[in-house]
Amino acid sequence: MQIKLWGVRGSLPSPLNNQEYTGKLRRILEIAASKRITETDDLDSFMQSLPDELRYVFGGDTTCVTVKSSSGKLYIIDCGTGVRRLGNDLMEGDCAKGKGVLNIMITHNHWDHIQGLPFFRPIYVPGNVLNFYSPYKNQKEILERQMSSPFFPATFEGTASEKNYILIDNATHEPVMLEEDLKLSIHPLKHPQGCFAYKFEQNGKIFIFATDTEFTGEAIEKAGDKNFFRNADLLILDSQYTLDEAFLKVDWGHTSYTMAVNCSINWNVKKLVMTHHEPAYSDDILQENYLLAVEHAEHMADVNTEIFLGREGMVFDL
């Protein structure tokens, strides 16, 4: 499997503003001056040497992740604003010819997880097929409502692509076989109005996506959580708050980076990716929280979990 991040912000899009851009640029120029960079030939190595918060923009688009299976089939998790750029990318291939078959998994229907769909170009091309997987019986109605008057000039059902709706029955706890060797399972999460984690298993590898969830100390020992998340090769997990903020925002449905680290280590997760970044945080603050998360992990015993800060364009191969 190959996993790619297209949107990593939570709650609402938060593009880089002029003040943040100027601050980044100033710091880069100060470092360049201190290293006496005078030749353009030195720029590539110089850029590689910059700290992550200057080398990258972590991204302002809301949640969207893709999973490409070993057969090459594409699965999309959530349709935040990150799905717009994904759609542009897909229009370079079969989707532009009306031959695209896309599988879309919906974790929940809060706006930051579906608001990019009206700007997803493949839905407007006749011949493209969109299969929506969801544990919500009224998924079709929800997507139609988002694009109804007066909220959007085009209706969802009026777009030219074919749309199918596959209900995932959470009550049975039975996995869905997406392909002969690709298994999908879901797990309910603590979040206002509900949310679900998605687990993909293929070739002995496990990828889990769990955003918009509020994990506390109870989750570490809760049997259902432990059984679902244990031994994941890659876990992309909501890490929106600091611990202090989490105490002030109980029942808001999001997790602190401290608790995300605690859970991942206790569940024997190999790689943790922090996501659903607080929209009020600059890249500098995100990087600071990431370094504090790594420091927190280093103070724990028997740590085998590698920690990453999610950013748009990041790719993992399992």
More confident call, 173 vs 251: 251
pLDDT at 290 over 90: yes
Q: Rounded distance, CA 247 to CA 258, Å?
A: 12
Q: Which two tokens stand for residue 274?
A: 């922090």
Q: Rounded distance, CA 196 to CA 207, Å?
A: 14
Split at pLDDT 50, 70, 90, the class of 36 is confident
Split at pLDDT 50, 70, 90, the class of 225 is confident
Q: Rounded distance, CA 155 to CA 145, Å?
A: 9
Q: What is the pTM of this model?
A: 0.94
pLDDT at 223 over 70: no
Task: Characterize the bridge pairing of strands 315-317 and 234-238.
Answer: unpaired
Give the pLDDT of residue 218. 76
Query: Residue 204 contacts by C-beta under 8 Å, 6 or more apart in sequence?
Result: none
- Provide the CATH topology of domain 2-14+57-317: Metallo-beta-lactamase; Chain A (3.60.15)
Q: Where are the domains of the chain?
A: 2-14+57-317, 18-55
Query: Residue 167 contacts by C-beta under 8 Å, 6 or more apart in sequence?
Result: 134, 135, 136, 137, 139
Exposure string over 79-117, b if 16+ CB within 10 A, otherwise e: bbbbbbbbbeebbeebbeeeebebbbbbbbbbebbbbbb
Comparing C-alpha atoms, which of 219, 225, 216, 229 is closest to residue 258?
216
Residue 193 class from Cβ within 10 Å (0-12 exposed, 13-18 middle, 19+ buried)? exposed
C-alpha triplet 295, 298, 302: angle, nearest 5°: 155
Give the pLDDT of residue 109. 97
